[in-house]
Amino acid sequence: MSAAQLVAAALLVPAAGAGGIALAGRWPNLRETVTLAAAALLFACVLGLVPAVLAGSTPELFVLEMLPGIALGFRVEPLGMLFALVASGLWIVNSVYSIGYMRGNDEPHQTRYYICFALALAATMGIAFAANLLTLFLFYEMLTLVTWPLVTHHGDDEARAGGRTYLGVLLGTSIVLLLPAIIATWALAGTLEFVPGGLLAGARLSNAALGGLLALYMFGIGKAALMPFHRWLPAAMVAPTPVSALLHAVAVVKAGVFAVVKVIVYVFGVDTLAGLRAADWLPAVAGFTIIAASVVALRADNLKRRLAYSTVSQLSYVVLAAALLTPLSVVGAALHIAAHAVGKITLFFAAGAIYTASHKTEVSQLDGIGRRMPWTMGAFLVGALSLIGVPPCVGFVSKWYVLQGAFAAKLWPAAAVLLGSTLLNAAYFMPIVYVAFFRAPRGEPHGEAPVAIVLALVATAAATVALFFLPGLPLALARSVAGL
């Protein structure tokens, strides 16, 4: 297949998968086979694009002209390639996990669940490969809408409230801030295509206008969960855990930070922003979010809530790294999208495994659980170490680049934030590991979660370590984003 056909296939396979799931809804085994087949096929399509992108070409697919002069079109560049690889690869693992989790917990509406999941992946691919801001925005909104049924899956009052916050913040920020930013960009530059060096590079805007526009973008991309627009993420935790794992640790939130990096690199241009002082406020906001969210995580007893605030904090690593505007930190930003994904999905998998095996949700209930679920908590430890940034986990690699970027930019407060947050990460993860392994178990005895769940979380934990030793592919993609 040609590269353009592969791009089309990457968009259509999950969408067609959703259709297949709907048709196979009555036969659960067939339905799950369709999901797994769609996931495997999608990953194969995405992998098929890698050689071309590594060779420096940017496969394109033009569909039609949506508005005069603005196409619905796709172009695969290194950053989108990396994001698509992470999301589609983890969809396979997450589907295996979903099967174990949804059946293990006897969840209702499973067909709807798998349909929405496949549609969410289709939207994610659209975001990853978008050639311009309008296409990105189209799929960005679609992702919000198709994940709403997943967030409100349980249909009770809590789910309803969570769904309202989710939709309110994500739609609200994107409609009120992001859309005017995009339209203003169109009015100023006459194009919305992502170009290396930034499409606004030639627009000669004043410092204030550029800073204002940047603010509209940064806060408008609510999925990046920059404070004060982070509340949707903890609210989304009412969803079944596989949703939190793939969508609210990988696809949706990474779509947010992906868009942030994309806007900084391809809309404004790193050099344009570095030359002016329009982006100076951004590291401060990101740094504040990192620290503040960590502090909230420290105090959260609910495990998923703690993980959610940890995600808020880790997302701002990416924003901070991009905002440092040095090549090395941009490499770090791109890498951290992948690194945080595998680490955090492992942690959520573990949280879901604990819930499935023991129905425990609070950190204070986890005494001795590591002795009953050694594989699960072993994987949890690996994920936690990766997020703290300890070798031999991939989290160390990305943090290393971000720190180097901070030193290169001579932005000492940013370096201090990174180091301080490392301590905070350890402070909210390590007590969990400690009580799990070193305290006596309580309550009724239970074993590991179903084998599909354990398999999935061991796989992602293994990937977390493997990517430390073999970071070749993500690193190569990340370096070409930064033009290194």
Partner 1 sequence: MIAEHLPALQVAVPLAAAPLIVLLRHPTLAWWIALGACGFALLAALLTAAQVAGAGTVSYALGSWPPPWGIEYRIDTLGAFVLVLVAGVAALVVPFAWRSVAAEVPREQHYLFYAVYCLCVAGLLGMAATGDAFNLFVFMEIASLAMYVLIAFGRDRRALFAAYQYLILGTIGATFYVIGVGLLYLMTGTLNLADMASRLPLAQSERPVLAALAFITVGMSLKLALFPLHLWLPNAYTFAPSAVTAFLAATATKVAVYVLLRFYFSVFGAPLVSAELPMPQILLALSIAAIVTASLVAVWQPDLKRMFAYSSVAQIGYITLGIGIASRDGLTAAVVHLFNHGITKGALFLLIGGVVLRAGWAGFERIQGLGRSMPLTSLGIVIAGLSLIGIPGTAGFVSKWFLVLGAIENGQWWLAALVVGTSLIAVAYVWRFVEAAYLAAPGPRTPAPGEPPAAMLVPAWLMVAACIYFGLDTSFTVGAARRAAALMLGGAP
Residues making contact with partner 1 (CB under 8 A): 64-68, 72, 134, 137-138, 141-142, 145, 149, 152, 155, 159-160, 163-164, 167-168, 171-172, 175-176, 179-180, 183-184, 186-187
Q: Which amino acid is at 231?
A: R
- Which two three-digit tokens encode residue 131? 């050639």
Looking at the DSSP bridge assignments, the partners of residue 62 are 73
Give the nearest distance from C-beta 323 to partner 1 in angstroms. Answer: 25
Beta bridge partners of 74: 61, 130
Chain centroid offset of residue 268 CA: 22
Query: How distant, in Å, are the alpha carbons of 83, 255, 360 from that of 258?
Result: 7, 5, 33
As a whole number of angstroms, the distance between CA 27 and CA 269 comes to: 51
Of the two residues 76 and 177, which places its CB atom closer to partner 1 in the complex?
A: 177
Question: Please, what is the minimum distance in Å from the beta carbon of residue 136 to partner 1?
Answer: 10
**160 vs 277 by CB, closer to partner 1:** 160
Distance CA 131, CA 74 (A): 4
Least Å from the CB of residue 352 to partner 1? 23
Provide the β-strand partners of residue 64.
72
Closer to partner 1 by CB, 118 or 381: give it.
118
**Least distance to partner 1, CB of residue 152, Å:** 6
Q: Which is nearer to partner 1, 70 or 427 (CB)?
A: 70
Closest CA to 148 of 236, 233, 225: 236
Contact 266, 198 (CB under 8 A): yes
Q: How far is the CB of 179 from partner 1 (least distance, A)?
A: 6
DSSP states along 414-454: HHHHHHHHHHHHHHHHHHHHHHHHHS---SS---PPPHHHH
For the CB of residue 437, give the shortest distance to partner 1 in the complex, in Å: 41
When the beta carbons of 171 and 284 are compared against partner 1, the nearer one is: 171
Q: Which is nearer to partner 1, 55 or 64 (CB)?
A: 64
Nearer to partner 1, 149 or 474 (CB): 149
Q: Select from 150, 91, 84 the least CA-distant residue to 115.
A: 150
Cβ contacts of 308 within 8 Å, gap of 6 or more = 233, 234, 236, 237, 244, 248
Closest distance of CB 308 from partner 1, Å: 22
Nearer to partner 1, 186 or 355 (CB): 186
Cα–Cα nearest to 241, from 97, 454, 112: 97
Rounded Cα gap, residues 259 and 217, in angstroms:
9
> CB 235 → partner 1: shortest distance, Å?
15
Give the HSE-up count for residue 14: Cα atoms under 13 Å, Cβ half-sphere: 30
* Per-residue exposure over 447-464, b if at least 16 CB sit within 10 Å of its own CB, e if not: eebbebbbebbbbbbebb
Residue whose structure tokens are 């769609």: 38
Nearer to partner 1, 186 or 194 (CB): 186
| Minimum CB distance to partner 1, residue 153 (Å) | 10
| Beta bridge mates, 193 | 132
Nearer to partner 1, 161 or 484 (CB): 161
From 286, 267, 160, 149, select the one nearest 225 (Cα to Cα): 286
Provide the minimum distance between the beta carbon of 218 and partner 1 in the complex, in angstroms, as a whole number.
Answer: 17
